[in-house]
Structure formats: structure tokens, C-alpha cells
Amino acid sequence: MKSKIIILIFGLCVIVTSLAKSQSYYLNTYGLESESTDRSVLIKRIDLSHGSIQDSLIVCNAGLIPFKKPAHILINNQSCLISIVQKGGYNKNSGSVDYKIVYVIAGVNNGISVIRRDSLSDAILGTFIQYSDDPSFRLKMYRNNDTLQIFPSGDYTLDNNYRFRRLRGFDPHISPGGIRRSGPFEYLDRLNLPNTHQLYSAIADDSQYRILRLDNQQMPADSLMIESNERASDIYAYHPQRDRLYVFHLNYEAHGKFPESDRNYGDDWITPEVLIYDPNTLHLLESHQVADFDSANYPGNERGMADVVGDYIVYYFFEDDWMGRFYPAMLFIFDTRTNQATWLRVGWR
């Protein structure tokens, strides 16, 4: 009996440890084609520790996805997702001629479940985005016929009845915590938080994209060019737990409206890599080759800051090459404990 109890306790410890290590990432994606050729819009939960899709929720049966990730808000001790879809107009997957906004507020404490689903007729979405590490989201919505504001431009959250509540206005030229100008750099975006190194990304006057470390006067102390060349996608992240800056150069494919401009699998390929830097000096510490995607599932050409989720650095490739087609939606997952990368097909973009 005692041995059985010990085995049972050990098994429970394994389960609890496994659940504790499970780290989730939520995204929006298009689903499979329907009979009307429009595609459903879904929220999906990705288990990063297993590199797999664990749950999904249909937002609506058609419509344009304006922001690749749902906004994530904590309200009433409930972790909530907000996904907004634009229908109508000359948009991808528009679903109808008439303008209409459809949105879902979903709880994620136990799976993905609908708290509120609603729609607004004759409505156009002007802005909907949530920046990394920002507890609020930016929203603007107005009527199509007379352009009267439904939700004025501003930072929003949810009230206790799960309705949009405006907090304040915002400067449309900079992200939260950003800086308008520092030295020769404009529109500095802060890197992942908590970030005690004053790390920002910005475009210089020479049009080159760089990571900056600012001094106490918010002036550039060091800079690092992160663009490799036009042959690669360039993504980056500061990982607070590791206290390291990661820069990735990755292959991509391009398949747009004009075949002569396509980039096929293996064309002018690079060796995909991660470069790891000291955030105090921006000096290179180490580099590693990382896994490439396969020919059936490919990302597009993008540049930007990745998300940090626990031990993982995650980047969702969702930019569109041409609205007349759907492309594979790919998630890049990098485990900072092992320096191993995984590619996961999560739907369509």
C-alpha cells in the first residue's frame, strides 16, 4: 500500500510540474475554405512546451484579421482575450459588401470560452493593437456612412461588464514607452520588459534598423545593426530572465501577385542563425545555427520584435504578400534553455 501511495504522489508531482511548465501563446488565424470561399477566423492557443495547437475558438465565419494576436486583458480576476474582425469593403476575406465589426471577448482560465460576442453594423475599424507588455490596447472605431466616432481613438481596457472603457488618448507616432527622437534616431520602440538596460529599436537617418542602448540622458550609448540583408527575415528580442539580447536571421519565401518576383524554397538561401549579445555592451557572446522550416510550410519576409513567454522567444509570421491569396501562417518558437528552434504551422494568413 505504501509503495502505491508513493507512486501516486510521484505521478501527481509529475503532472503538476508538467502543468507548471506549460506556457501558452494566443493568436488569430484564418481557417480552412468554406463553400462560399470565405474563411473562418479563429483564436488558437499554442502550447509552447510541446509546440502544438491545444485549443481554438471560432470568432466568425469571415472577415479581415486586423491584428495577428488577440488583446490580452485581466478583468474580474479573469484572463480575457479580445479579437476584433472587420467585415465588408475591399478587404481580404471580407465576407460581405456592407461594413460590419464582429468581436469576441473570451475567457481563458479554463480553455477558450466566449464571455461576450457582439457586432456593430456600418462600422469601420481604424485602430486595434496591443503592444508588448502593455496592459491596455489601442482602439479606434467609426461609422462608415458619416465617419462619426463609435469609439474615439485611445487606450482602452474592459470594465466589469466586459465593455470597452477608454482610459486616455495617445500619440499615434510612438508606441507605449517609446521615444520620439534620440540623436539621429526617430521613433524609438522599447524592447521587452522588464528591461533595465534602456534597450530600444529604431531606424536611423541612413534607413538602417538598429538596436540601441541609451544612457541616463536617453541618448544613444551603443548601437547594433540587426539587418543582415534582403535575403533574410530579421527578428529580435531581449529576454529578461536570461539577460541576453537575441537576434535571428531566418529564411523566407515570397509568393505574391507577380510570379516573376516570387522567392521559392531554397532560392538564395542563408544558414538560419541566432546571435546572442550582452545587453550591457551589445557585444556578441555566442551564435548558433537554428532549424529551418520545410518546403510545404513557409513564413514571409518580416522584421520585428518577438514576444517573450517564459523560457521562450516567439514570433508569429502573419504579414500578407497579396490579398488575393492565403498563405501558411507560421509560428517560430525558440527555447532559450536549449537554443533550439521549432516551426509550427498554425493556420493561414
- Give 167-196 pLDDT, tens digit per residue: 999 999 899 999 999 998 989 999 999 999
Q: Is pLDDT at 29 greater than 80 in this prediction?
A: yes
In this prediction, residue 10 carries a pLDDT of 38
Q: What's the mean pLDDT in 67-86?
A: 96
Closest CA to 69 of 137, 151, 15: 137
Query: What's the confidence (pLDDT) of residue 34?
Result: 65
pLDDT in tens, 44-66: 999 999 999 999 999 999 999 99
Q: What is the mean pLDDT of residues 244-266?
A: 95
| Residue % of the chain over a pLDDT of 90 | 81
Q: Distance between CA atoms of 46 and 346, rounded to whole angstroms?
A: 8
Q: Which residues contact 274 (CB under 8 A, 6 or more apart)?
A: 246, 247, 248, 287, 288, 290, 334, 339, 341
Mean pLDDT, range 126-155, rounded to an integer: 96
- Contacts of 123 by beta carbon, 8 Å cutoff, 6+ apart: 99, 100, 101, 141, 142, 143, 144, 150
Over the stretch 273-290, which tens digit does the pLDDT of each residue have?
999 999 999 999 999 999
For residue 81, give the amino acid letter.
L
Q: In angstroms, how far is CA 190 from the centroid of its own chain? A: 15
What's phi and psi for 271, nearest 5 deg? -90, 110
Predicted local confidence at residue 282, as pLDDT? 97
12: pLDDT strictly greater than 50: no
**pLDDT at residue 22 in the model:** 55
**Nearest-10 Cα torsion for 62, 65, 69, 71:** -90
| Mean pLDDT (whole number) for 264-278 | 96
Distance CA 228, CA 252 (A): 13
Cis peptide before 272 (omega within 30 of 0): no
Q: What is residue 17's predicted lDDT score, i.e. its pLDDT? A: 35
Asked whether residue 33 carries a pLDDT value surpassing 80, the answer given is no
User: Mean of the per-residue pLDDT values for the chain?
Assistant: 91
Per-residue pLDDT reduced to its tens digit, 189-241: 999 999 999 999 998 877 888 999 999 999 999 999 998 777 899 999 999 99
**CA–CA gap between residue 193 and residue 215 (Å, rounded):** 17
